[in-house]
Amino acid sequence: MRGEKAVLERALTEADPARTPRDAAPDAGALATRDRILRKARLAHRPHSRAVGWASGAVAAGAAAIFTVAMLLPQDTATAGSPTPLTFVGASTVAEIVDAAEEDLLAVEGPAVPLRAVHAASWGFSVDVVDQNTQVVPQLSELTWNPDGSGRMTIIRGVPYDPADAVANNSAEVSRSDDVLSDVIMAPGDFEPPWPEIPGDSREDVLALLTAFGMPAQPTAFDIETAFTSTFDMWTLTNAQHREILSLLEETGEGMALGDSTDRLGRPVAGLQFLTPDKGAKDVVLVSLETGRIVGVERTAIKADDVFPVGAIISYRMWDVESEVTR
């Protein structure tokens, strides 16, 4: 745990683009960040608590992380400063989406074995308190790690834009820059994952993997989602493993099919919606219409609290980002 904490603090220190006085009191965003970091432990002890906070790019389950502040404006209007909500079209059921995904997973080639590497994208605000300047900053993340606990995490800034630029916000696309926000080298032993060995493809293997990432014995859909998002932040899994995860989600009977859309990286996806335990937020699991793989999760507030208004897009996580994007 000491190694995990050191790497986490190092990544956050090197990657934080804001220049805030060291003696400044924590604001709502900082408190949300704390909650995001502690989400796994909090859910383990308080299963009905609501996990909210900043979106994560390539996050290694408490070992190395880069966090981006949430978009806080209402989702029901295309307001400048907030990305346009995803629009889903077409009628479908959870079973139809999962069945189609399973066909794609069998037909499309994926990783032959799980990879100790993650390519991801996220979005956030960069606030310069000195110049009173705010920008929306996309980020591209690449994490690689080795069995001995060594590895590397690189965060690349996307091309930032003015949050008042409605056109830019409506597209919410990532355009890569050459600005490296963070490049953390982890020495052997720095990285201590919950599941360090190559996981198998069977149902039993996937259950064991998700259990290592906090899934309880009789999981809800939210429990499964929480576990696989943490897993995806560390591992790129095989198609067979994605198939088992989708089956587990379907078997809960808790999801709602949203139809088809295009995600914030321009990829065709289908949406499966699940509610958080307190019904305070909804998560949309994005399933690729090309590969059948789970490629993202988007969270939206459906109850107001001290941090997020109703309709706020709280977080994005996008995986299976093309590896060349981050190079």
**Once rounded to an integer, what is the mean pLDDT over residues 279-288?**
94
Segment 178-231, tens digit of pLDDT: 778 889 999 999 999 999 999 999 999 999 999 999 999 999 999 999 999 999
Where would I find the H helices in 38-137? Answer: 39-45, 94-107
pLDDT bin (cut points 50, 70, 90) of residue 111 is very high
- Residue in this structure with the two tokens 């943490």, named with its chain if needed: 230
Averaged pLDDT score across all residues of the chain: 74
C-alpha distances (whole Å) from 21 to each of 11, 130, 252 are 19, 9, 47
Region of poorest pLDDT, from 1-5, 126-130, 185-189, 212-216: 1-5
Higher pLDDT, 234 or 56: 234
Domain count, the chain: 1
Higher pLDDT, 236 or 57: 236
Judge contact between 257 and 274, C-beta under 8 A. Answer: no
Segment 289-301, tens digit of pLDDT: 999 999 999 888 8
Share of the chain above pLDDT 70, in %: 62
Question: How far, in whole angstroms, is CA 302 from its chain's centroid?
Answer: 19
Show the domain range for 221.
2-326
> Would you say residue 276 has pLDDT above 50?
yes
Task: Choose from 36-50, 65-79, 155-169, 263-277 the range with maximum mean pLDDT.
Answer: 263-277
DSSP state of 325: G
> Would you say residue 235 has pLDDT above 90?
yes
Q: Which of 294, 289, 311, 295 shows the shortest CA–CA distance to 92?
A: 289
Q: What pLDDT was estimated at residue 72?
A: 31
Segment 134-184, tens digit of pLDDT: 666 677 889 999 999 999 999 887 777 665 665 555 555 555 667 788 899
**Once rounded to an integer, what is the mean pLDDT over residues 80-108?**
87
Judge contact between 32 and 307, C-beta under 8 A. Answer: yes
* Token pair belonging to 194: 């919950």
Q: What pLDDT was estimated at residue 24?
A: 40
- In whole angstroms, give the CA distance from residue 35 to residue 188: 28
Q: Give the three-state DSSP class for 297.
A: strand
Higher pLDDT, 41 or 287: 287
> Would you say residue 250 has pLDDT above 70?
yes
> Would you say residue 62 has pLDDT above 70?
no
Q: Give pTM, 2 decimals.
A: 0.73
